[in-house]
Amino acid sequence: MKSCLTTLTVLLLSLSALVQAAERPKIALVLSGGGARGLAHIGVLKVLEEAKVPVDCVVGTSMGAIVGGAMATGMSADEMASIVSAADWEYMFGDKPHRKDVPYFRKRDDQQDYFDFTLTLKNFWPVPPRNLVGVHYISQFFRQMTKGIEVENFDQLPTPYRAIGADLETGKTVIMRHGDLPLVMRASMSVSGVFPPVPYENYLVVDGGIVKNMAIDEGRKLCGDVVIAVNVSSPNAQRQKLDSLFAVSEQTINIAVQKDMQAQIATLTAQDVLITPEMAKLSSTDFKESTKLMAAGEQAARTRLAQLQRYALTDVEYAQWQQQRQQRKAKTPHIQKVEIAPTRWVSPQVLKSVLAVPKGELLDIPALHQRIDEVYARGDFVRIGYQVKNQPDGATLKVIPVEKDGQDFARIGLKMNTDFANTSSFGLVAMLRRSWLNDLGAEWQVQGELGETRALYTEIYQPTVLNGAFFLAPWLQWKDEPKDLVINHETVGQHRILHAGGGIDIGSVIGKWGEVRMFVADQQVRWRSSLEVNNPSIGEHYEQIAYGIKAVFDQLDNPRFPRAGNWIKLDYTHADQDLGSDKAYQRLTLDWRRAFTWDDYTFFATGRGGTALGSTLPYAEEFQLGGALNLSAYRRAEFVGNNFFFTRLLGYKQIKDMPSALGGGIYVGLLAEAGATSQQDSWSSALLDNTVYSMGAVLAADTRLGPFYLTVAQGQQQRRAVHLTLGISY
């Protein structure tokens, strides 16, 4: 009896709402495009909700399609504002995974001086990028906003919805009435050249703003007796601001956009409402200013409150209208099956092992996105999308991975240092990697360097089990590097040290944070000098057979200018004459770095130490201190020995953002260093007695080419130096 009464009540409320809807004019909300300025639409929605103005359908273009699509699913303005305020827009548009998600075998590249991009190769030729901005994370953001809703057509949404796009081939307006809602939202805002075009039916869809930035006519066709139109487009720039190629190009496009918009606005009548937020100082790229943008929309809507209130409902009527609308909301689906689209190179087991969803489990979007991000962070995919398909036997989660255009990748970079006196170095570095040599994810990598140091290194990384904890890594190396000779505080020349040989590592992965490698290596070592110095070891050539262990733990949030995390490295080598080595020695080093942030200030502490454990190191293996960020006031390799310690505290603050195309930020900081070496066979108080100090100031920039440092340092006995450095100090 109780259930019958409940059903009857719902039916009566629905009938009442239908009668009210028949008596009042239908209202179409039309939202224009405008990039970040489109976030002002959320402020307008907030006022409409407060004023109890019902919206019977919504039509959006570009950013208007995104806000409109979220609203059409039943999301409130407050929910939208909360999601938008919490969004990391730089992260989403940068499409670069959080470092915590990146597996260590990929993080290893961060210890090299490569530029901040990776080239995909096809037939050993670079594949040109199709767009400037990736879409993996922005697509996930749209899925989050729509909560995984799946409908046959957009008339079935709580609020009927249309998105406007443009066909890239013909230039025709594309009215998107059905399809995968998050994909349609992305299609409507896919600015040509910035985002990739989106296939839709027989069209290749890009940003609809170039053909119909405010589709008032489509709003009338869909439902609108009355149109509430919101214009957030950027006005044409004044002459004095047309002072660059970019400004002129943007103005040329905007003229055409504004011309069509004015034609649409001209069709508005006295019963319609036009809302134009005032955002003169906010641009289409100011996503970080979401609070100001939403406030601008709210303020503009309040100035039109008298016009809007003509269409307001009573409290009871609005509650009934909202209840009817909420009844149309799709319920969170139970996933009965997971399907993964086929891949060309990447083993599908990588996706299956991570994306397995228990049968019958409710779709948990945040958890699903986290699992997808773990796979995406491997670097094999352009994006990993998914769709939820409702079927008679339950919902199917279809995962759609889009691989990169090739399985070969290359990185290049530069390293440079000068003290503006008598020490300068320069190097060109490069890396070539072929991924997925087999179904276990084996990779072959070749690294090279030309310049003051000349080197070639190749390794095959072979996991023993897919996504397993163990791997094998045979390698070969040839490296010819300098070692400065410093006498009486002056660099008088260089020795050259050559290592050539190979080995095999047996390793274990420590989650995403690090790895441990045990190794055996056999190398030929030779050192030579053009200087006439009294050292019988000059020209020495010997075989070095050694075993040891290397362990690295990397939890820094940024390898260049971290704000948090630790980096720890342990390296132990034992050259043993019982194995046939010409030299016998032990060499142990420990390096610990810790970053922590207080307010706007970051402190990056480093502690390093090394010992020969009672043996005597060959000249080629001696520890060295001196040079940029390594006792900066002193010459490179001014201090050498069998044992050493070094500490550094670098405090810095970001003072300016750089354009994202150029890099991250510009920093200023202070530097304090202390360290010492000794020729004794083991650590002793004499090592501490040798301690020298250095203090200085740093101006740095995090660029796409790498980190630049300008360091001015003062040491003891009036020692001072200025360094300009490009490269990471690992």
**How many residues in the chain?**
730
Q: How far apart are CA 114 and CA 107, in angstroms?
A: 12
Same-domain pairing of 353 and 474? no
DSSP letter for 178, please: B
pLDDT band at 466 (very low <50, low <70, confident <90, very high): confident
Structure tokens at 448: 């090279």
Same-domain pairing of 236 and 164? yes
Q: How far apart are CA 375 and CA 441, in angstroms?
A: 13
The label of the residue with tokens 């006439």 reads 532
Name the residue among 412, 728, 696 with its Cα closest to residue 567: 728
Same-domain pairing of 422 and 390? no
Same-domain pairing of 340 and 306? no
Same-domain pairing of 498 and 544? yes
Under 8 Å between Cβ of 74 and 325: yes
pLDDT band at 228 (very low <50, low <70, confident <90, very high): very high
CA torsion, points 59, 63, 67, 68, in degrees to nearest 10?
10
- Give the pLDDT confidence of 240-256 residue by residue, as tens digits: 666 666 666 666 666 66
Does some domain include residue 20? no
- CA angle at residue 723 from 720 to 728, to 5 degrees? 130
Does some domain include residue 704? yes
What Å distances lie between residue 681 and 591, 622, 687, CA to CA?
20, 12, 11
Please report the pLDDT score of residue 537 as a whole number.
56
H/E stretch holding 401: strand 394-403
Same-domain pairing of 392 and 317? no
Please report the pLDDT score of residue 7 as a whole number.
45
Same-domain pairing of 459 and 341? no
Please report the pLDDT score of residue 658 as a whole number.
86
Under 8 Å between Cβ of 722 and 420: yes
Q: What mean pLDDT, rounded, does the chain reach? A: 89
Give the residue numbers annotated as catalytic, written as ranges: 62, 207
Q: Give the whole-number percent of the chain exceeding pLDDT 90.
A: 64
- CA angle at residue 497 from 491 to 501, to 5 degrees? 160
Q: How far apart are CA 501 and CA 475, in angstroms?
A: 9
Does some domain include residue 138? yes
Query: Looking at residues 55-79, what average pLDDT do you find?
Result: 95
Better pLDDT: 18 or 571: 571
Q: Is 618 helix (H, G, I), strand (E, B) or coil?
A: coil
Q: How far apart are CA 157 and CA 161, in angstroms?
A: 7
Least confident interval from 42-51, 228-237, 276-285, 525-534 = 525-534
Query: Looking at residues 123-137, what average pLDDT do you find?
Result: 85
> Which residues does 9 contact at the CB level (< 8 Å), separation at least 6?
none
What Å distances lie between residue 44 and 281, 294, 317, 663, CA to CA?
19, 8, 21, 35
Same-domain pairing of 152 and 244? yes
CATH classification of the domain holding 380: 3.10.20.310
CATH classification of the domain holding 53: 3.40.1090.10
**Radius of gyration of the chain from Cα atoms?**
32
Better pLDDT: 441 or 532: 441
Q: Give the whole-number percent of the chain exceeding pLDDT 70.
A: 92
Does some domain include residue 57? yes
Under 8 Å between Cβ of 614 and 601: no
Does some domain include residue 105? no
pLDDT band at 17 (very low <50, low <70, confident <90, very high): very low
Least confident interval from 336-350, 366-380, 478-492, 559-573 = 478-492
pLDDT band at 1 (very low <50, low <70, confident <90, very high): very low
Structure tokens at 136: 């993996």
Please report the pLDDT score of residue 4 as a whole number.
46
Name the residue among 519, 507, 521 with its Cα closest to residue 549: 519
Residue that finishes a domain, picked among 403, 420, 441: 403
Please report the pLDDT score of residue 19 as a whole number.
47
Count of domains observed in the chain: 3
The widest CA-to-CA distance across the chain, in whole angstroms, is: 107
Q: For residues 122-156, b (16+ Cβ closer than 10 Å) or e, as one string? A: eeeeeeeeebebbbbbbbbbbbbbbbbbbbeebee
Residue that finishes a domain, picked among 358, 381, 403: 403
Same-domain pairing of 459 and 521? yes
- Give the pLDDT confidence of 648-674 residue by residue, as tens digits: 999 999 999 888 778 889 999 999 999
Same-domain pairing of 367 and 437? no
Phi, psi at residue 610, to the nearest 5°?
A: -150, 150
- Give the pLDDT confidence of 595-632 residue by residue, as tens digits: 999 999 999 999 999 999 989 999 889 999 999 999 99
DSSP letter for 257, please: H
pLDDT tops 70 at residue 239: no
pLDDT tops 90 at residue 95: no
Residue that finishes a domain, picked among 272, 302, 328: 328
Same-domain pairing of 344 and 290? no
Does some domain include residue 705? yes
Does some domain include residue 29? no
Phi, psi at residue 379, to the nearest 5°?
A: 95, 10
Same-domain pairing of 647 and 713? yes
H/E stretch holding 66: helix 63-72
pTM for the model stands at 0.86
What is the Cβ-side half-sphere exposure of residue 69, based on CA atoms within 13 angstroms?
A: 35
Domain span holding position 466: 408-726
Does some domain include residue 553? yes
